[in-house]
Amino acid sequence: MAVAIGFGQSAAFSKALLFLHRSGRRSFTAFSAPYSSSATAASSSSAFSSADKLRSQKWRAPVASVLERGGVKIARDDVVRDEPTNNIPDTIFTKLGQQLHRRNQHPIGILKNAIYDYFDSNYENKFDKFDDLCPIVTVKQNFDDVLVPADHVSRSYNDTYYIDPQTVLRCHTSAHQAELLSMGHKKFLVTGDVYRRDSIDATHYPVFHQMEGVRVFSPNDWELSGQDGTAYAAEDLKKCLEGLARHLFGAVEMRWIDTYFPFTDPSFELEIYFQEKWLEVLGCGVTEQEILKRSGNSNNVAWAFGLGLERLAMVLFDIPDIRLFWSTDERFTSQFSEGQLGVKFKPFSKFPPCYKDMSFWINESFTENNLCEVIRGIAGDLVEEVCLIDDFTNKKGMTSHCYRIAYRSMERSLTDEEINELQWNVREQVESKLKVVLR
Ligand code: DAH
């Protein structure tokens, strides 16, 4: 699997950031074919049966039944349900409502505010800002309203967290575009936590933060320019985002790459040359006319962009592991202050990793995302990486995978005893939940 084996930044990042990029781009593994919703509903039910849930609770801290943080009130029973069509573990429920992007002294909040500053100082009529929209959205909002095709891989239970067949944890802030356009907003920024089932490594975490920007033009904006609406919007978009990149990164080299998103045409990615690498900064484009038409903006043209805040914050603040954003250790939190973009993080220690390998015969419904969910359910943030190190099929057609799990705490040394216990539980639960045969 491309991501876990190499730490190639751009490959690793692009998977998490722009998963709606092209259909199939996220079905990156030869061994985890994309599933239809119904097929994975069944596989996730076997992955999370009630007995398993009970058993796994032993290994977790007790979970509060209602989260009430940052103005968001969400009951556990509204989100985590023991039903085949629900694939949300407690580890994800505890992240709802934490809202790192609303903490002014947290790198994610500092970056959000720096982007706000750029828009506030460059646009007289300010962009409307939303950073408290509920992450629980309908399938319609998350996918249909932004024209994601019915068979797109991102809709699968393997990739998205479903509360029930009609309700998901948003997997991108684009989920709010259509409703805000329908409400009449013409310039807006939406920041929020987004959720994706994924593999495990230093740049992937099942919860991260995005910012979405949209600007609508009316005919008198472009008529005098001699350009058509689309060309005018595309030019304005590029100018705006190049300015944003300079605001955040200084005088960097940039390039535009043509790409595909379901909700824009034409679509682009902006890359900057930073620390000797091309870094993908964001995805954007001219909004599909169908989205504008449905929202009562038939005569208008608009642009939109979406960017991943962790990805940019890791580079700007030199944060080496995405788990650190969730750390409550003072040695992390005390290093950042309001308004200070790009203060370099000083690692307070590097504790040794401990590697454990496990091999098993997979079955048809096996996916790496399901495996990673089980491992995270037991080891939480102590798991640093899960990496496929061997893969073969025998004469009988049975396929074996060997995974190497790296355990490492950001905050302390782990004892052998603790790791052995974790690994023992991982083996037991991987076997019982994923119905694979350990070797
Ligand atoms: N929603 C996209 C993603 O998560 C990012 C994105 C790309 C948002 C292009 C946009 C856009 O608004 O125009 O991968």
Q: Encode pLDDT of 342-370 as tens digits.
A: 899 999 888 999 999 999 999 999 999 99
Task: Say what the pLDDT of residue 73 is.
Answer: 76
Rounded to the nearest 5 degrees, what angle is found at the Cα of 431, between the Cα atoms of 427 and 436? 125
Q: In whole angstroms, give the CA distance from residue 377 to residue 373.
A: 6
Q: What is the pLDDT of residue 69?
A: 53
Ligand 1 lined by 111 (C-beta under 6 Å): no
Give yes or no for residue 284 CB within 6 A of ligand 1: yes
pLDDT of residue 124: 86
Q: What is the pLDDT of residues 48-57, one digit of tens each?
A: 334 444 334 4
CA–CA dist 317, 335 (Å, integer): 10
Q: How far is the CA of 225 from the centre of ligand 1 (A)?
A: 27
Dist. CA 318 → ligand 1 center (Å): 25
Q: How far is the CA of 282 from the centre of ligand 1 (A)?
A: 8
Compute the distance from residue 197 Cα to the ligand 1 centre, in Å. Answer: 17
**Is the C-beta atom of 171 inside 6 A of ligand 1?**
no
Percent residues over pLDDT 90 in the chain: 81
pTM metric for this prediction: 0.86
Q: What is the pLDDT of residue 71?
A: 61
Average pLDDT value for residue range 37-57: 37
C-alpha 376/C-alpha 373 separation (Å) is: 5
**Residue 392 C-alpha from the chain's centroid:** 30
Bond from prior residue into 135 cis (ω within 30 degrees of 0): no
CA of 212 to the centre of ligand 1 (A): 7
What does the pLDDT average to over 327-333? 96
Calculate the average pLDDT of the chain.
Answer: 87
Q: Is the CB of 285 under 6 A from ligand 1?
A: yes
End-to-end CA distance of the chain: 21
Q: How confident is the model at residue 17 (pLDDT cuts 50, 70, 90)?
A: very low
Phi, psi of 212 (to 5 degrees): -115, 140
Confidence of residue 72 (pLDDT cuts 50, 70, 90): low
Nearest CA to ligand 1 atom 6: 306
Secondary structure in 3-state letters for the chain: CHHHHCCCHHHHHHHHHCCCCCCCCCCCCCCCCCCCHHHHHHHHHHHCCHHHHHHHHCCCCCCCCEEEECCEEEEHHHHCCCCCCCCCCHHHHCCCCCCHHHCCCCHHHHHHHHHHHHHHHHCCCCCEEECCCCCEEEHHHHCHHHCCCCCCHHHCCCCCCEEECCEEECCCHHHHHHHHHHCCCCEEEEEEEEECCCCCECCECCEEEEEEEEEEECHHHHHHHCCCHHHHHHHHHHHHHHHHHHHHHCCCEEEEEEEEECCEEEEEEEEEEECCEEEEEEEEEEECHHHHHHCCCCCCEEEEEEEEHHHHHHHHCCCCCHHHHHCCCHHHHCCCCCCCCCCCCCCCCCCCCEEEEEEEECCCCCCHHHHHHHHHHHHHHHEEEEEEEEEEECCCCCEEEEEEEEECCCCCCCCHHHHHHHHHHHHHHHHHHHCCEEC
Ligand 1 geometric centre to CA of 41 (Å)? 26
For residue 19, report the distance from its CA to the centre of ligand 1, in Å: 9
212: Cβ below 6 Å to ligand 1? Answer: yes
Question: 325 φ, ψ to 5°?
Answer: -60, -25
Mutate to test the pocket of ligand 1, among 172, 230, 241, 311 (most ligand atoms within 8 A of CB): 172
Confidence class for position 267, pLDDT limits 50, 70, 90:
very high
Pocket lining: 306 vs ligand 1, CB cutoff 6 Å: yes
Give CA angle at 201 (196, 204), nearest 5°. Answer: 30
Q: Which atom of ligand 1 is nearest to the CA of 21?
A: 14
Alpha-carbon separation of residue 187 from 46, 101, 121, 214, 288 (angstroms)? 45, 20, 14, 6, 16
